[in-house]
């Protein structure tokens, strides 16, 4: 259909924002609360034709404009006060994007003309002085598109339950740019996401939900352009309703929109959900004192952004500005955008970048009961899709992990830091004669992080478990670098996080030493096993399943190159790692007791997974052992061997975690009804996968290794005779 249609035009009540269609024809409405006049600027072969919007109420300007048919390019000019100390920065000499534009065509050319204030070369500005030069030749245009012409072909949302969800964070270009089976003209595009070869990789891997880095229209910051770089990640939004056009194989705006829909349709056809990483906390306009005027700033800076009493930005994003969702119309913009992507593009959910910034209240503090949260929880469309919060921003008291409403799942940074510390940082410390952190914190994370999410009716599925993300070292680099190597970013290695909790296994960076390589690859498997088998929702980063490296760059936001693209030409060890990742995800699917909606408990409660912790001798850990900072070994036993559990639901799985630097022997606990233990996965045990171990038997495990065993229940002799049984004596 063309832009959303309404039966008749209202002359005294503002219509929906953006371009809609009434019985009388196309109509446009924009929010510009402090403006004195608003002009629609229709692009023509020789420039533009300006059409005044004649109706205004409640801060919204609107009018019928018959020319606003699909394919029309347009912009906005807003007249109003220039009073920076009051937050007003209207400048009708600047052509603005419509915040509700369905497509954006063109790029920002970073020249002084795109700034509302006077700007010179090399970053010099006079933020108080209004610039009267026309920005039109140097800014993109809004484009009207038709959402009714695409054939969804009976598209059905996969609606994967949270219990089965495995998130796969990927970049549109990075995932497909080098894929040899994708046609060259499609590589690095939306079209490639739906290519059978890419879809097959996702389905064979066992992930359920593709989480894409930002695909909203965005631009590169001028500081990057001056260094000859581009914004690769896309956290610099120009428009919240328009797909980023350079990611498309199609060249026309309508084709870009349809290409995104085609990718979603293809992924849905394979049972894969699509979740978008969305950036509503700030825009590409940066600070009002040194940023451009491209849209909201020129429409109504005072309304759209958080400002102090001197008209300066309150920045809790680290990007110069913060959208002010305390204002109902700004919150409406975000909610309308979210519904747009669900209803028009059929996406299955969202990951909110710097989510606390969206819910800071009148006092600028985070408010769990913020109106935006209430709206999400009650919205009939948005409350039914997956919502994931990045639960921190850079403002005061910005760390809010575990404090979001139940409608959200949250990135669990405590899981990330603890897993890295246990398997990497602490091991490196011990080799240098220092103590570690013990096992208590790791056990808390493996039990579902009840300390963070055990309130308000939430459970372990509120925790999105991660070891890596787009921001930071890759999984392979965590085991090869102790220091960031970001010089390619052009910031003298000052950017990026310094606390990586990584361990290079004795050599910084690449090495040919087979022992170092073996230890690194074992550590990668330990981290993968911990991530993929813990209660909660695991998030795997694209390429980690095959040992992708960024050569120690832990902030590759501006690296659109082979450094960040997945290399599909795998070496033998990478293919083996990929196979092991598939095995771990298959094991997760096979073990519903690890995908529980309730926190595991020490007692055998009806319908609950029981979780007990054991020492090397097979006995339950005592208080002294729990508090021992030098302890690096424990066995986790998950089971549903309750008397009221149906036979088809009775399971037991033992996870042996040994982060010590020397081999050791771990005796399995005696468990009722278990006749033997089957080794399902190991990163470094003397007992290979496929073996069986007697009840109460011991398993010889190598240094820094993880081993997973599942129980065979019933009478002895029921097992597969072809499987070798390792007795207690053999293990010793």
Comparing C-alpha atoms, which of 579, 654, 646, 650 is closest to residue 612? Answer: 654
Quick one: DSSP state of residue 131?
A: P
CB-CB contact of 84 with 128 (8 Å) = yes
Angle between helices 328-345 and 253-269 (to 10 degrees): 60
Are 125 and 114 spatial neighbours (Cβ–Cβ below 8 Å)?
no
Report the C-alpha gap between 376 and 405 in whole angstroms.
10
- For residues 294 and 116, give the distance between their C-alpha atoms in angstroms, rounded to a whole number: 9
Residues 6 or more apart whose CB falls under 8 angstroms from that of 730 comprise none
Burial degree of 9 (CB within 10 A; 0-12, 13-18, 19+):
middle
Phi/psi for 52 (5° steps) reads -65, 140
Q: CA separation (Å) from 180 to 64, 170, 197, 576, 684? A: 50, 18, 9, 20, 33
Where is 614: in which H helix or E strand? Answer: strand 610-614
Alpha carbon distances (Å) from 470 to 53, 387, 414: 43, 18, 17
> What are the residue numbers of the active site?
353, 390
CA dist., res. 413 & res. 441, Å (int): 13
Could you say which DSSP state residue 360 is in? Answer: B
Q: Is 378 helix (H, G, I), strand (E, B) or coil?
A: helix
Query: Residue 57: which residues within 8 A CB-CB, separation 6 or more?
Result: 12, 13, 14
Contact in structure between 473 and 502 (CB atoms under 8 Å): yes
- Four-point Cα dihedral 210, 216, 222, 228, nearest 10: 40
Nearest to 566 by CA among 165, 166, 169: 169
Could you tell me which residues are beta bridge partners of residue 613?
636
What six digits make up the tokens of 80? 């109003």
Would you list the DSSP string of 679-722? EEEESSBSS-TT-EE-TT-EEEE-SSEEEEEEEEESSTT-S-TT
Residue written as tokens 């709206």? 375
Give the Cα separation of 412 and 676 in Å (integer): 35
Closest CA to 357 of 413, 297, 397: 397
| Residue 703 CA from chain centroid, whole number | 33
Helix 514-533 vs helix 413-420: crossing angle, to nearest 10: 150
């Amino acid at each position: 259909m063309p832009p959303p249609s309404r039966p008749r035009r209202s002359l005294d009540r503002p219509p929906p924002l953006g371009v809609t269609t009434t019985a009388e024809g196309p109509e446009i409405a924009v929010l510009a609360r402090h403006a004195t006049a608003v002009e629609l600027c229709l692009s023509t072969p020789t420039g533009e034709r300006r059409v005044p919007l004649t109706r205004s109420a409640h801060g919204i300007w609107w009018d019928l404009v018959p020319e606003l048919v699909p394919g029309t390019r347009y912009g906005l000019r807003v007249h109003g006060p220039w009073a920076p100390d009051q937050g007003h920065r209207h400048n009708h000499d600047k052509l603005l994007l419509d915040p509700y534009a369905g497509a954006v065509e063109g790029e920002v050319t970073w020249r002084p003309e795109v700034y509302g204030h006077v700007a010179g070369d090399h970053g010099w500005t006079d933020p108080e002085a209004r610039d009267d030069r026309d920005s039109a030749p140097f800014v993109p245009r809004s484009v009207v598109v038709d959402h009714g012409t695409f054939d969804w072909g009976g598209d059905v949302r996969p609606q994967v339950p949270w219990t089965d969800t495995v998130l796969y964070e990927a970049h549109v270009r990075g995932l497909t740019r080098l894929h040899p089976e994708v046609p060259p003209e499609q590589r690095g595009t939306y079209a490639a996401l739906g290519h059978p070869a890419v879809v097959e990789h996702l389905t064979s891997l066992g992930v359920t939900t593709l989480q894409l880095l930002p695909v909203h229209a965005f631009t590169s910051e001028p500081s990057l352009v001056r260094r000859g770089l581009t914004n690769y990640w896309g956290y610099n939004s120009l428009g919240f309703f328009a797909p980023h056009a350079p990611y498309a194989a199609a060249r026309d705006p309508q084709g870009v929109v349809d290409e995104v829909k085609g990718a979603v349709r293809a992924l849905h056809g394979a049972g894969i959900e699509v979740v978008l990483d969305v950036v509503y906390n700030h825009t590409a306009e940066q600070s009002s004192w040194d940023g451009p005027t491209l849209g909201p700033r020129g429409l109504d800076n005072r309304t759209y952004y958080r400002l102090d009493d001197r008209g300066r930005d309150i920045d809790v994003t680290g990007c110069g500005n913060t959208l002010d969702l305390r204002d109902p119309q700004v919150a409406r913009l975000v909610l309308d955008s979210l519904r747009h992507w669900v209803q028009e593009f059929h996406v299955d959910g969202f990951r909110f970048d710097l989510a606390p910034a969206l819910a800071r209240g009148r006092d600028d503090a985070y408010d769990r009961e913020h109106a935006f949260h209430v709206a999400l929880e009650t919205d009939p469309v948005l409350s039914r899709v997956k919502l994931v919060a990045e639960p921190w921003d850079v403002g005061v008291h910005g760390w809010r992990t575990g404090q979001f409403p139940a409608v959200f799942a949250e990135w669990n940074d405590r899981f990330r830091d603890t897993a890295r510390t246990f398997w990497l940082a602490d091991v490196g410390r011990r080799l240098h004669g220092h103590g570690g952190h013990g096992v208590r914190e790791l056990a808390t994370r493996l039990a579902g992080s009840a300390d963070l999410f055990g309130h308000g009716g939430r459970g372990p599925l509120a925790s999105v478990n991660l070891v890596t993300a787009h921001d930071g070292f890759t999984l392979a680099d965590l085991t090869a670098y102790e220091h960031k190597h970001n010089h390619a970013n052009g910031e003298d290695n000052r950017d990026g996080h310094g606390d990586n909790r990584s361990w290079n296994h004795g050599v910084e960076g690449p090495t040919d030493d087979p022992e170092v390589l073996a230890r690194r690859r074992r550590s990668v498997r330990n981290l993968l096993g911990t991530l993929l088998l813990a209660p909660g929702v695991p998030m795997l980063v694209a390429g980690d399943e095959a040992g992708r490296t960024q050569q120690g760059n832990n902030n590759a936001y501006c690296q659109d190159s082979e450094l960040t693209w997945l290399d599909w030409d795998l070496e033998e060890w990478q293919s083996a790692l990929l196979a092991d990742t598939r095995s771990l995800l298959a094991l997760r699917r096979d073990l519903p007791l690890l995908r529980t909606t309730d926190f595991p408990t020490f007692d055998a409660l009806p319908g609950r997974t029981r979780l007990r912790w054991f020492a090397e001798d097979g006995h339950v850990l005592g208080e002294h052992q729990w508090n021992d900072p030098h302890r690096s070994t424990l066995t986790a036993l998950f089971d549903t061997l309750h008397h009221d559990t149906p036979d088809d639901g009775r399971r037991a799985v033992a996870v042996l975690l040994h982060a010590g630097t020397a081999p050791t022997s771990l005796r399995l606990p005696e468990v009722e009804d278990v006749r033997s233990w089957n080794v399902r996965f190991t990163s470094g045990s003397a007992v290979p996968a496929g073996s069986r171990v007697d009840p109460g038997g011991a398993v010889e495990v190598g240094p820094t290794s993880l081993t997973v065993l599942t129980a065979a229940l019933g009478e002895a002799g029921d097992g597969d005779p072809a499987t070798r049984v390792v007795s207690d004596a053999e293990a010793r």
